[in-house]
């Protein structure tokens, strides 16, 4: 059974084809070989950005995991890692939302190929710049925290035997000059 919208046939459309059959007007004109990888990359960035932002804001990212800010200042302590990811979370979450919107736009907008290329490439660059900016903000926030003191390592001469007043203890500067221990 064919659905008829009007008695006259419209050029380029089969008779009785309703709006559901108008596929070419609902997707981008860009070739699938371009749009599919760009859309998938944008969706992967959106998913990773969302997970990182949500877990970073909640403080549930682990330092030994794969997500989060991996800088020297952020990796110095658990508190620095949590602060860096909490500060970066809104920016990374915004980048994830933009990546999702751009993936939909590249897929749905009826633009010529050049327009889809511009939106896709500039969108990818913009999302990556926002994610790096979030990392820079997190790094700066982690630098404001004090660096925890490190455990002193035993020297090569001592090897940490804790021999007390004998042995290595005579090498310390606690004895007055000119007196023998």
Is the pLDDT at 153 greater than 70? The verdict is no
pLDDT digits over 76-114, tens only? Answer: 888 889 999 999 999 999 999 999 999 998 888 878 888
Distance between CA 145 and CA 26 in Å, rounded? 52
Q: What burial class does residue 1 get, using C-beta atoms within 10 Å of its C-beta: 0-12 exposed, 13-18 middle, 19+ buried?
A: exposed
177 to 17, 95, 113, 169: CA distances (angstroms): 104, 65, 84, 15
Is the pLDDT at 55 greater than 80? The verdict is yes
Tokens of 111: 């633009």
Alpha helices in the chain (DSSP H): 32-58, 78-108, 113-143
Residue among 107, 102, 68 at smallest CA distance from 84: 68
Tokens of 49: 């950005």
CA 76 to chain centre: 20
- At residue 67, φ and ψ (nearest 5 deg) are -100, 155
* pLDDT given at position 106: 87
Is the pLDDT at 62 greater than 70? The verdict is yes
Q: Is the dihedral of CA 35, 36, 40, 46 positive or negative?
A: positive
Q: Is the dihedral of CA 68, 72, 74, 79 positive or negative?
A: positive
Mean per-residue pLDDT over the chain, rounded: 78
């Amino acid at each position: 059974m064919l659905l008829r919208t009007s008695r006259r046939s419209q050029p380029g459309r089969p008779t009785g084809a309703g709006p559901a059959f108008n596929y070419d007007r609902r997707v981008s004109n860009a070739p699938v070989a371009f749009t599919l990888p760009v859309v998938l990359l944008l969706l992967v960035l959106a998913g990773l950005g969302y997970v990182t932002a949500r877990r970073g804001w909640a403080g549930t990212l682990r330092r030994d995991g794969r997500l989060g800010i991996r800088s020297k200042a952020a990796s110095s302590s658990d508190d620095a890692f949590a602060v860096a990811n909490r500060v970066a979370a809104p920016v990374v979450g915004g980048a994830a939302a933009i990546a999702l919107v751009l993936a939909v736009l590249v897929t749905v907008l009826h633009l010529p190929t050049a327009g889809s290329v511009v939106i896709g490439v500039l969108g990818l660059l913009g999302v990556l710049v926002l994610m790096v900016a979030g990392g820079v903000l997190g790094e700066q926030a982690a630098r404001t925290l004090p660096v925890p003191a490190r455990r002193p390592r035993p020297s090569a001469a001592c090897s940490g035997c804790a021999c007390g007043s004998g042995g290595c203890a005579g090498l310390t500067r606690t004895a007055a000059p000119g007196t023998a221990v």
